[in-house]
Amino acid sequence: MLEKCLSDFNIKKFSNVYFSTGPGSFTALRSIKAISQALALSSSSKILTASSFAPLLSSVQTNEKKVLVCFKSTNNKFFYQLFEKTVKIFKSKLELKFGDQDQLLSYYFEKKKSYNDLLLISSEKLVNINKTEMKYVIKKIDASDFANSVIVGYGSKNTKILYHNTYYEKS
């Protein structure tokens, strides 16, 4: 894929290189970071980053002040985090969580007690949920959503990665 990209585009015309800082797998994030740094160095481009949650946050228009965002990891587990609306964008409100769908939904309903209008934004369809008990949006994302999230304000120059080693998680 990288070879195709480099043959289709003139690397010297790159002005920015974007990559996700996670959460995610250590090996994948380190590889993406290294490739991004090499591309930026080769093209004299700036590196801009965003979390893996940013495309989901930027692609959904909502009036809710608090949202719980999740995306699927490995072994039917999810990364999820609570975010709060600021003037322009959502900022993380509480720490990153990792668990199965039951843990995710339990966390959602626990937080819903404090934040009645809590919206759940997911990149995956959740199974066997009662949609009348919750506000729930599914949003499939791609690279253009990631680029847009950087452009609308989720971008950063911080290249520190946030990885979660799922190898040690119990199945």
Predicted local distance difference test score (pLDDT) of residue 169: 53
Predicted local distance difference test score (pLDDT) of residue 28: 87
Choose among 133, 140, 123: nearest CA to 78.
Answer: 123
Predicted local distance difference test score (pLDDT) of residue 149: 96
Element housing 57 (H / E)? helix 54-59
Terminal C-alpha separation, the chain:
32
pLDDT tens, the chain, 171 aa long: 778 877 888 888 899 999 999 998 888 899 999 999 999 999 999 999 999 999 999 988 888 999 999 999 888 899 999 999 998 899 999 899 999 999 999 999 999 999 988 999 999 999 988 878 899 999 999 999 999 999 999 999 999 988 766 555 554
Provide the whole-model pTM. 0.89
Predicted local distance difference test score (pLDDT) of residue 84: 96
C-alpha–C-alpha distance, residues 153 and 155, integer Å: 5
Domains and CATH numbers, the chain: 16-51+143-165 (no CATH), 54-138 (3.30.420.200)
Burial bucket for residue 51 (CB in 10 Å: 0-12, 13-18, 19+): buried
Predicted local distance difference test score (pLDDT) of residue 33: 94
C-alpha–C-alpha distance, residues 103 and 77, integer Å: 9
Apex CA 103: angle with CA 170 and CA 69, to 5°? 110
Predicted local distance difference test score (pLDDT) of residue 150: 96
Predicted local distance difference test score (pLDDT) of residue 164: 66
The amino acid that residue 132 corresponds to is: T
